[in-house]
Structure 1
Amino acid sequence: MFQTRKTGMVARIPPHVFFLVSAVFHYLGPACAVLLFSSISVLGVAWFRIASAALIFALWRHPWRTLLNMPWAKRRILLALGIVLALMNVCFYLAIAHLPLGTVGAIEFLGPITLAALGARTPRNIVALVLAAAGGWLLTDVRFAGQPLDFVFAFANCAFFMLYVILGHRIAQDGEFNGIDRLGASMLIALITITPLGFTGALPAMTQPLLILAGIGVGICSSVIPYVGDQLAMARLPRATFALFLSLLPASAALIGVLVLHQIPSTLEIIGILLVAGGIALHKEVETAPDNHKKNL
């Protein structure tokens, strides 16, 4: 009864609201992560992000029950998503450690734009896609300067981000809260995947409470709130529409810059925000939204 009541409350909230919450917190997490780079290694920060998120999901959703009650054929999707989450975070932090965040964001932005292009089947949606892509490009303030390996990590992050959107939609098709349970299970798998890579780098922070709190903050802002918001939005939005909405991420970064860092956007950034808003306003859904009653994961 309580679960049904919660589902009804969620259904009354437009999916775009959940996406907007996800978009805002998407860039608050990296702000916390930057503070940790001077104290622990990049891979240690990535481990903290995954570990703290996995712990929160474990206490909240008890995701091991999902894994135990699911046939192996369906567990494979959760296994794949967990590995993708771990490697995506590793590549993202290795990239932003040496490249400007705007450059990494621009490269990452290529992924959802590609997914949106695959679903743009009308001239109206193609124009919407072009507007959103142009706006995102202006907002990311791209500067190509860095070592080739740094760009390898940035493009690998882009590829893993595309896989995250695809697999995330797969686990969201059976309803919002089922998707969150499966996300929690995937986060446990991500923790197992990333521990050999990042646990040693996180050890210097284990005796410093402030660094531990900062690491937990990274996990909450970067993985718990955005990924839960994504699941609640993915369950009710077509994949191409969700992918196009990801163009809001650079705009949300600019907004956070104004409110938190008092960074006033330039004329080009304002134009970029307007282009993104115009693209999203022009876009019209042409796919059938995911059927929450499907039982095929």
Structure 2
Amino acid sequence: MSIVAAQISINAGAALGKGLFPLVGPEGVAALRTGLSALILIAIARPWRTASEPAQWGWLGLYGLSLGGMSLLIYWAIARIPIGIAVAIEICGPLAVVLMTSRSLRDLLWFGLAVIGLLLLLPWPGAQVRLDPIGLAFASGAAACWMIYILVGKRAAAVEGKVAVAIGMTAACLVTVPLGIATAGSGLLQPRVFAFGLLVAALSSALPFVLEMKALERLSSRVFGVVTSSAPAIAAVVGFVLLGERLSLVQWIAIAMMIAASVGCSLANRPGIAKAREDVVT
């Protein structure tokens, strides 16, 4: 139940963040979430107590920059398309890692299923529901950042997990905070905005971090990967409940295909899929 609660928390944080877009824009919300998340995670991890090789700092920096890019792009995406669809597209990032590192025909077939699901979401002429192509492009960019995040994260893995996440989130602020300040300025410090930003940071980072760490103590990476593969469905339900986002039957089918592809890869016990959601925030 901990891992399901973590997924609900992550997507509830994203939905609340979307509610702040009219006040400070996606850039402002991304800045608040990463900035406040970094402070929370630093307090939890206390990275100054962990020694690390100087060479690791470069990889941690890249790890954090990819996380910052992913955070910003996914917010730009959900400003234009439903959260469930954005998360479904984003999950293609770790699936692409599987394809790049696998020689198995089975993994290629799973990736093909995800591609078919993605094609169903494209704004084809005559489609019953036409999604914003720019929103789809942003979600695809978030998927690319997630792919880089996983690949670079392997290099940063020598540092203790929670410390790497805290340092990475701090580096992510180099991407999000300058844009947030340039877009929203002093609006970020309005009491209501700041309070909701703190809530978004807690729901999107601190609470899921604790819940997932507890889940990983009891679950295998395979089971962890299968459960977290349901993220697009949970995001779609949260989007409907909190934001009134309704999806068409075709869109639900597309999401189901992407979830099936992710579950299939997770059952093959691929660490990149199983662990990818451990530290990632929507």
Question: Do both share a fold (TM > 0.5)?
Answer: yes
State how far apart, in whole Å, the 2-side matches of 1:228 and 1:130 are. 34
One-letter identity of the residue aligned with 2:57: R
- CA offset at residue 237 of structure 1? 3.4
In the other structure, the counterpart of 1:294 is none
In the other structure, the counterpart of 2:38 is 54
Q: Residues 1-297 of structure 1 correspond to what in structure 2 (within 5 A)?
A: 20-66=4-50, 69-101=51-83, 104-131=86-113, 143-146=130-133, 153-172=138-157, 178-200=160-182, 201=184, 203-208=186-191, 210-226=192-208, 237=221, 242=225, 247-257=229-239, 267-268=249-250, 271=253, 275=257, 279=261, 283=265, 284-285=267-268
Equivalent residues, number: 263
State how far apart, in whole Å, the 2-side matches of 1:132 and 1:151 are. 15
Does the 8 Å contact 2:31/2:173 carry over to 1?
A: yes
Pair 41,288 (structure 1): closer, same or farther in 2 beyond 3 Å: closer
State how far apart, in whole Å, the 1-side matches of 2:131 and 2:239 are. 22
Instruction: Tell me the alpha carbon deviations over residues 101-152 of structure 1, each in whole angstroms, 9 at most, x when there is no partner.
Output: 45544542331221233355444444455556656776999844355xx665
Moved more, 165-174 or 280-289: 280-289
* Percent of aligned pairs with the same amino acid: 27
Instruction: Tell me the alpha carbon deviations over residues 166-223 of structure 1, each in whole angstroms, 9 at most, x when there is no partner.
Output: 334444566xxx2012211222222344332223525214232x32221012112223
Gaps of 5+ in 1: 1-16, 290-297
Pair 288,156 (structure 1): closer, same or farther in 2 beyond 3 Å: closer
Q: Please give the secondary structure, in 2, of the residue aligned with 1:41.
A: helix
> What TM-score does the superposition give when structure 2 sets the normalisation length?
0.71
State how far apart, in whole Å, the 1-side matches of 2:53 and 2:164 are. 13
- How large is the Cα RMSD of the aligned pairs? 4.1
State how far apart, in whole Å, the 1-side matches of 2:169 and 2:13 are. 17
Pair 160,18 (structure 1): closer, same or farther in 2 beyond 3 Å: farther
State how far apart, in whole Å, the 2-side matches of 1:179 and 1:104 are. 27
One-letter identity of the residue aligned with 2:268: E
Q: Please give the secondary structure, in 1, of the residue aligned with 2:20.
A: helix
Pair 204,266 (structure 1): closer, same or farther in 2 beyond 3 Å: closer
Pair 262,35 (structure 1): closer, same or farther in 2 beyond 3 Å: closer
> What TM-score does the superposition give when structure 1 sets the normalisation length?
0.68
Does the 8 Å contact 1:245/1:280 carry over to 2?
A: no
- Structure richer in helix, relative to its length: 2
In the other structure, the counterpart of 2:277 is none
